[in-house]
Amino acid sequence: MKKIIEEAFASADVRINGDRRWDIVVHNEDFYRRVFSELSIGLGESYMDGWWDCERIDEAFERLYRANLQTRKYTWAKRYHYLQSKLYNMQRKSRAFQVGERHYDTGNDLYRIMLGKRMVYCSGYYSRGASSLDQAEEDKLELICQKLGLEAGDRVLDIGCGWGSFAKFAVENYRVEVVGITVSKQQIALAIELCAGLPIEFRLQDYRDIEGRYDHIVSIGMIGHLGYRNYRTLMEVTHRALKDDGLFLIHTMGANRSTTAADPWIDRYIFANGMAPSVQQLGAAIEELFVMEDWHNFSTDYYRTALSWVANLEEHWDEIKSRYDERFYRMWKYYLLMFSAAFSARTLQTWDIVLSKQGGRGKYHAVR
pLDDT digits (tens, 9 = 90+) for 274-326: 899 999 999 999 999 999 999 999 999 999 999 999 999 999 999 999 999 99
CATH of the domain at 341: 3.40.50.150
Q: Is residue 316 one of the residues assigned to a domain?
A: yes
Last residue of a domain, one of 20, 41, 73: 73
Last residue of a domain, one of 73, 107, 133: 73
Do 99 and 55 reside in the same domain of the chain?
Answer: no
Do 66 and 108 reside in the same domain of the chain?
Answer: no
Angstrom distance (rounded) from CA 111 to CA 329? 13
Q: What is the pLDDT of residues 137-188, one digit of tens each?
A: 999 999 999 999 999 999 999 999 999 999 999 999 999 999 999 999 999 9
Angstrom distance (rounded) from CA 45 to CA 79? 19
Last residue of a domain, one of 39, 73, 107: 73
Q: Where are the beta strands (DSSP E) in the chain?
A: 25-26, 52-53, 155-159, 177-182, 200-204, 214-220, 242-255, 291-297, 348-356
Do 258 and 186 reside in the same domain of the chain?
Answer: yes
Residue 37 near residue 45, CB atoms below 8 Å: no
Angstrom distance (rounded) from CA 364 to CA 149? 10
**Order of strands, sheet of 155-159, starting from the edge strand that comes earlier in the sequence:** 200-204, 177-182, 155-159, 214-220, 242-255, 348-356, 291-297
Task: Tell me whether strands 200-204 and 177-182 are parallel, antiparallel or unpaired.
Answer: parallel
Do 103 and 63 reside in the same domain of the chain?
Answer: no
Q: Is residue 254 one of the residues assigned to a domain?
A: yes
Q: What is the pLDDT of residues 1-52, one digit of tens each?
A: 899 999 999 999 999 999 999 999 999 999 999 999 889 999 999 999 999 9
Q: Is residue 84 one of the residues assigned to a domain?
A: no
Do 160 and 68 reside in the same domain of the chain?
Answer: no
The boundaries of the domain holding residue 68 are 2-73
Query: What distances in angstroms separate CA 156 from CA 141, 187, 203, 212, 366, one per listed residue?
Result: 14, 19, 14, 11, 20
pLDDT of residue 70: 59
pTM confidence score: 0.92
Do 105 and 58 reside in the same domain of the chain?
Answer: no
Q: Domain count for the chain, please give it.
A: 2
pLDDT of residue 84: 55
Angstrom distance (rounded) from CA 163 to CA 187? 5
Do 64 and 109 reside in the same domain of the chain?
Answer: no
Q: What is the pLDDT of residues 210-223, one digit of tens each?
A: 999 999 999 999 99
- Which has the closest alpha carbon to 159: 106, 223, 88, 114? 223
Band (87; pLDDT cuts 50, 70, 90): low
- Which has the closest alpha carbon to 321: 100, 58, 102, 107? 107
Do 226 and 127 reside in the same domain of the chain?
Answer: yes
pLDDT of residue 272: 87
Do 171 and 289 reside in the same domain of the chain?
Answer: yes
Angstrom distance (rounded) from CA 4 to CA 11? 11
Q: Is residue 174 one of the residues assigned to a domain?
A: yes
Band (74; pLDDT cuts 50, 70, 90): very low
Q: Is residue 81 one of the residues assigned to a domain?
A: no
Of the candidate ranges 173-182, 196-205, 320-329, 357-366, the one whose mean pLDDT is the lowest? 357-366
